[in-house]
Amino acid sequence: MTRHQHHATLGVISLGLAMGLTWGFFVFVLGIMATFFGWGAPLALILSSVYVGFTPTVAGTMAGAVWGFAEGFIFGIMIAWLYNRFLGMRTVRSQDPADEPAAAAAEKQPDNTRTSR
């Protein structure tokens, strides 16, 4: 017997916003730290090769935060969409050992509900 279990799906836009805000905030903090303290400067240089306009300056940090939000938003949408698609393809086969032997035994036994008088 095959039955479908219903699982909670992910909100596509919600996960996109959450990941976008998180990654945008991370890039912003990285830029600020690289600007004022020199912390994470090598990583900031790597990200500046990917995000146009991102540099360890205040203005460049804002540009990097916008790019980080956009990238996180797109990846969040993709992850939630794929998760929901894979979840929809999933079926669960009943593997309850208590149900299957009882059902098989009930089919094999003759119907003794009628009695002759």
pLDDT single digits (tens) 32-43:
999 999 999 999
> Would residue 56 count as lying in a domain?
yes
Buried b (16+ CB within 10 A) or exposed e, 9-46: eeebeebbbebbbebbeebbebbbbbbeeeebeeebee
pTM more than 0.75: no
Which tokens sit at 33? 């730290």
Q: How does residue 8 score in pLDDT terms, banded at 50, 70 and 90? A: confident
Angstrom distance (rounded) from CA 95 to CA 11: 30
> Would residue 63 count as lying in a domain?
yes
Taking 90 as the threshold, does the pLDDT of residue 104 lie above it?
Answer: no
> Would residue 54 count as lying in a domain?
yes
**Share above pLDDT 90 across residues of the chain, in percent, rounded to a whole number:** 67
> Would residue 108 count as lying in a domain?
no
| H or E element that contains 60 | helix 58-89
Which tokens sit at 63? 């540009």
Mean pLDDT of the chain: 84
> Would residue 39 count as lying in a domain?
yes
Taking 70 as the threshold, does the pLDDT of residue 11 lie above it?
Answer: yes
> Would residue 81 count as lying in a domain?
yes
**Share above pLDDT 70 across residues of the chain, in percent, rounded to a whole number:** 72
Identify the domain containing residue 75 by its residue range: 10-88
> Would residue 5 count as lying in a domain?
no
* Section 64-84 average pLDDT: 97
Q: Select the more confidently predicted residue: 104 or 20.
A: 20
Q: What's the residue count for the chain?
A: 117
How many distinct structural domains can be found in the chain? 1
CB–CB of 68/52 below 8 Å? no
Q: How far is CA 63 from CA 18, 28, 31, 45, 66, in A?
A: 19, 9, 10, 14, 5
Angstrom distance (rounded) from CA 101 to CA 103: 5
> Would residue 64 count as lying in a domain?
yes
